[in-house]
Amino acid sequence: MRILVVGAGAIGGYFGGRLLEAGCNVTFLVRPKRAAQLAETGLVIKSRFGDVALRSPPTVQASELRRDFDLILLSCKAYDLVAAVDSFTSAVRPDTVILPLLNGMRHLDLLDERFGAARVLGGQCLISAKLDDRGNILHLNDSHLLTFGEREGNRSPRIDGITAEMGKAKFELRASSVILLEMWENGSFSRRWRGSPASCVARSETSQRLAARIWRSIFWRSADRLLRARALHREPSFSNELAAP
């Protein structure tokens, strides 16, 4: 599987570096300054889960991108999303899968519009990391979880393939059947709460409450329309619309 990691900052560099460490076919799409830095110092990760020093990791710049890829791992700041998308568009083929690791959910609209929803998975990561002055990646907490999945909730062959490939790496990987719910739940909290013990409890409780309210909404709307349809002696028509939780 050919993997293009868009960006080699704290997030892309960490997960891409772990994949490269595991022997995966990874190329980093970077800007000239970062490309020169990686060529000089290599890709260095400092983590309680094991340090990594990868000399001359494969890099490419947008103007040099000539080949396509099976999986594109998108890690960038929200304000840089349009430029990042423009930079890797030429690497996308009909069966390329795009896995974004951005906070929130608004980026899905842009990716769907540009590439079509069928190519775009849901995804998020739980990690605290930063770059130091030399461009080394410093892993700051005890978590390095990457969660992803089909946005419709099904378990597809491509999810199995990605799981098999990325499962080789030294980070926690989880395929989720409710990835959109998890993305919404994670993005609904203020940044100042994230990473605290209180936020872990709150996220768990909120996730359970939200899931329960969604399923109650589905049940009562379905039951109401079934009764109405029976009263009118016709087959019911169910809607995918959900009541606001």
Check pLDDT > 60 for residue 235: no
CATH T-level topology, domain 2-177: Rossmann fold (3.40.50)
pTM flag (> 0.75): yes
Could you read off the pLDDT of 96-125 as tens digits, one per residue?
Answer: 999 999 988 889 999 999 999 999 999 999
pLDDT at 192: 41
pLDDT at 231: 62
When pLDDT is cut at 50, 70 and 90, the band that residue 27 belongs to is very high
Could you read off the pLDDT of 176-229 as tens digits, one per residue?
Answer: 999 998 998 876 553 444 444 444 444 444 445 555 666 666 666 666 666 666
* Contact present, 67 and 43 (Cβ < 8 Å): no
Least confident window among 87-91, 130-134, 135-139, 237-241: 237-241
Q: Where are the domains of the chain?
A: 2-177, 189-245
